[in-house]
Chain A
Amino acid sequence: MSAGKNSKRTVQERAGLALNDDFLRKAVRFTTERLRSGKRKAAEEHGNWDEWRERGRQIRLHTIAHLDYYLGLFADQARVNGVHVHFADTAEEAVSLALEIASKHAAATVVKSKSMVTEEIHLNRALESAGIEAVETDLGEYIIQRAGETPSHIIIPAIHKNRYQIADLLSEDAGERLAPETAILAGYVRKKLREKFLAADIGVTGCNFAIAETGSIVLFENEGNARMVTTLPKTQISFMGMERIIPSWSDLEVMATLLPRSATGQKLTVYMSGITGPKRSGDADGPEEMHVIVLDNGRSLQLGDPEFQELLNCIRCGACLNACPVYRHIGGHAYGGTYSGPIGAVLTPALNKNVAEWDDIAGASSLCGACYEACPVKIPLHDMLVSLRRRKVERGYGDARETIGMKAYGSLMSRSKRYHGFLRLGRLGQKLIVRNGGITLKLGPLKGWNRYRVAPGLAAEPFRERYQTLEAELRQGLQELPPEIAERMRKRIGSREKSAGGEEHGGRSPGVAGSSGSTLES
C-alpha cells in the first residue's frame, strides 16, 4: 500500500517527511542505539566475533554457490517429511499459490507470524481482496496493520509509533478506551489474538533458515506467535526466499550464534523452532497439512553477478540498519521499499531490477562502511552501493547536469595549468558572493549543498602555493629544536641514567631510557 504511494516520491522527499517527525527521529535513534549497543555487548561477551563472522560468511558463500543442489535436496527431503513444496518465480505466482490453497480449504481467517517475504509479495492485500481475513500476530506487526502501514524496521516494525498512538489504534480495535500503558496494550493484543490463533484456518510464517539435509524449516522469535501459528491451525503455509538454505543443523549453530546477537543482542531468541513436516500420526497438535512456497522474485538475478551475489548471504538481522547513520536519521519508510536501511538500499533495486525507478535510494548512504562492519556475514554493502550508482550512470540514468559537471571537473583536473587558471578566476569571481569567508547563495549547483550548510570560499593563498614554504619550514623545524628545550631534555636524561635505571619508573627498563636518549643526541 504505502510502498506504492511512496515510490512516487523521491527518497529526499520521503526523508523530509521523516525528518519533520520529531518522535520518529527520536524513537529510531533510541531503538537503533539500544539494539546496536546490545549487539556490541553480545559480540564482545561471546568473543572471537570475527572468526564467527568469517565462518558464517563461508557457510553462506558455500550454500549460495551450490544453491541448486541444496535447494533440490531440501525440497526432496521436505516432501519425504510430508510437506508440499512449491516453487514461485514471481510474487504473483507465490500469491496465487497461497490463494489456491486458501480457497481449497475455504479459509475465512489466516494468522500470520512476521515474515518479510510476505510483505515483499503483498500477501495481505491479496488475501483481503479474496475476502480472507489476514491477521498479523507479532505485536508490532499487529499495531501497524491496524494503522494500515508497513514495517519501518526489520526487527522492530512499529518503531515509529508511540504508545499514545498505539493506544488510540488499539482502543478503536477494542471498541473501548485502553490506557496508554504497555502492559495493558500488550495484554489486550494477547487476549484478542488468542481467539484468532484458535479459530484460524491457516497459519502463515516466513522462514529464517531451511535445513537442506533434513528438509526442516527454522524460525527465530521472542513472542511465541510463530509457534502459535505453526501449532494451532490445521494448515500451515511457510514462505521462504530461495536463498534461505543452510546445509545442516551443525551450520545452524553458527547462524544461531550470529543472528540473535546481531539483531537484538540476545544469546538466543526466546524461541527457536525447527519444524520438520506436518504433525505425525499420534500427535495431537501441529498442522495436518503443510506447504512451503519457495520464492525467487528477482533473487536469481544476483547469482553469477560478481558484484551482487553476496547479497544472497543476508540473514535479515537488521544490524546494518542500526549501524547506519542515514537510517538512524530518516527511519525505514523513507527508503520506500519493503526492506530498508543499507540492505534495503541495495536489495530493493537488485530484486526489482529497475535501477531507474529505485536509483535514488542508493544515494541515501554516506558510504562510511558501518554496515559492512556490523554485518554478521560480512556483506560488502558499501561497495554494492557504489556499484549501483555506477550502473545507474552507465545505463544512462545519470543526471545530465551532473555528467556535464563531472566532465568539466575531469578536464580541469587533468591539466595543472587549467586548474590553476580556473582557481585564479574563481578567486576573483567569488568576491561578489563570499560573506564572512563562506558562500550561502542557494542558486544553481550550490542549491542542494547550501540548503543545510555553508560552502567555504576559496582561500586567498591556496595550499598548493603555500606548500613550498611550508615544506621548507617543516624540515627545518624537525632538525633544530630550540636550544633551551634541547638542554632541558639532555639534563633530564642524564639524571635518569644516574638513578640506577628502572627504580623510579616501575617496569620500564633502563634500555628503553637509553635508546630514547640516543635519538636525542643525534
Chain B
Amino acid sequence: MAEDHREWLDHLDQRSRAKQEEFLGKIASRLRRPRLTQKPRQPYRGAPDFWNSYDGSEDDNLQRFTRNFEEAGGYVIRADSLQEAGRFMTEKALELQAKRILRHDRPALADLGLESSLPEAKVQVWNWNREASEDWKARAAEADIGIIMADYAVAYTGSIAILSGPDKGRSVSLLPAVLFAVIPIASLVTRLGEVLTAFDRTGREGLPAGIHFISGPSRSADIENDLTIGVHGPGIVYAVLVSG
C-alpha cells in the first residue's frame, strides 16, 4: 500500500513537471517573449528605504509592543527572570484551575519550574521522548494551557513569531484555550521586516515547516460584526516579557 502510494505520487510529479513546461510556456507567450529562465533584476524589493532606517529604542519597542498587543485583546506581563515569570504562570494556572499544561521542549521553559510549582496539574513537555506512537496533537487538544518561547517579537505590529521544530510543535500555540508566550526582551525588534528579511538570509534550506506570527487572541467579527474572542485558537494570550 505504501509502495503503491509512493508510485502514485511519483507519477503525479512526472505529470506535473510536463504540465509545468506547458503552463509556463503559455504565460511567456501571452507576455510576448521567450521563457525567462534567468533571475530578472528586481528594482523594488521589500519595504521603502525610509522605512528600513526606522529603528526604535528598547523602551520604545517595549511600550509599542505592549500597547499593540493589549489593543488586540492580549495581556502583557513584565518579569525580571524566568523564575518570576514561572511564579506568575503558577498563580494564573491555579486561578484558572488548569488541569493540563503542555509546553515546548526548551531549556528556558524548564527553568519556569512549573513541574514542581504545580504538583496537582499534569505538566507535559511536547514530544520530549520523540516517540512517534504518542499522539501529541491530542495532548495539545486536551491541554488547558500551552506554553511557548517566542523566537522573535515585533513591536510595530504587536506580534510574537514562533518557528516550528521537533521540540516546538505548532499545536501548542494553537489548540489550548490559554497561551503563555515567554519573550526574551533581547528578541524584541521594531519592524516586521527585521524578522522577515532574516528568512531571506537564511534561505530555503534553513526554514522550518511552520513560521507563525501571533498577534493576540483568536478572533472573529463574522456574526453581526460583534467581536468574538477565542473562535478556534486560544482566547486568552499572555505575552510574558522577560529581561536578561
Contacts and interface: CB of A to CB of B under 8 A. Distances in A.
Interface in B164-195: 164-166, 169-171, 174, 191-193
B20 A139 contact: no
B146 interface: no
A157 B221 CA distance: 11
B234 to A, nearest CB: 8
Interface string A215-239: 1100000111101101110000000
Given A69-B36, A215-B204, A228-B232, A250 B23 contact: no
Given A163-B224, A224-B232, A250-B46, A84 B210 contact: no
B96 to A, nearest CB: 17
B232 A193 contact: yes
Interface stretch (A272-280, A323-331, A332-340, A389-397): A272-280
A284 B132 CA distance: 7
Given A80-B204, A214-B199, A224-B231, A267 B215 contact: yes
B212 interface: yes
Interface in A145-163: 156-158, 162-163
Contact of B223 (A185, A214, A277): A185
Nearest to B166: A282
Given A143-B222, A278-B209, A269 B46 contact: no
Interface stretch (A251-259, A346-354, A429-437, A480-488): A251-259
How big is chain B's contact interface, by range?
35 or more
Contacts of A272: 159, 212-213, 215
Given A247-B45, A268-B157, A227 B174 contact: yes
B215 A270 contact: yes
A361 interface: no
B35 A222 contact: no
A77 B221 CA distance: 36
A69 B39 contact: yes
B52 to A, nearest CB: 9
A189 B192 CA distance: 32
A166 interface: yes
B122 interface: no
Nearest to A100: B12
Contacts of A213: 200, 203-204
Interface residues of A, number: 102
Contacts of A268: 157-159, 192, 213, 215
A190 B175 CA distance: 11
B48 A138 contact: no
A69 B46 CA distance: 19
A140 B220 contact: yes
Interface in A310-330: none
A276 B45 contact: no
A402 interface: no
21 contacts: A58-B43, A69-B36, A84-B9, A84-B12, A139-B223, A185-B223, A231-B210, A247-B45, A250-B47, A250-B193, A250-B196, A253-B191, A267-B68, A268-B192, A271-B213, A279-B209, A280-B209, A284-B169, A286-B170, A296-B26, A301-B30
Instruction: Identify the 6 closest CB pairs spanning chains A and B, nearest first.
Output: A224-B233, A250-B46, A282-B166, A140-B222, A303-B30, A224-B232
Interface of A: 27, 30-31, 34, 48, 51-52, 55, 58-59, 62, 65-69, 71-72, 75, 77, 79-81, 84-87, 89, 100, 104, 137-140, 143, 156-158, 162-163, 166, 182-183, 185-186, 189-190, 193-194, 197-198, 213-216, 222-225, 227-228, 230-232, 242, 247-254, 256-257, 266-280, 282-286, 289, 294, 296, 300-301, 303-304
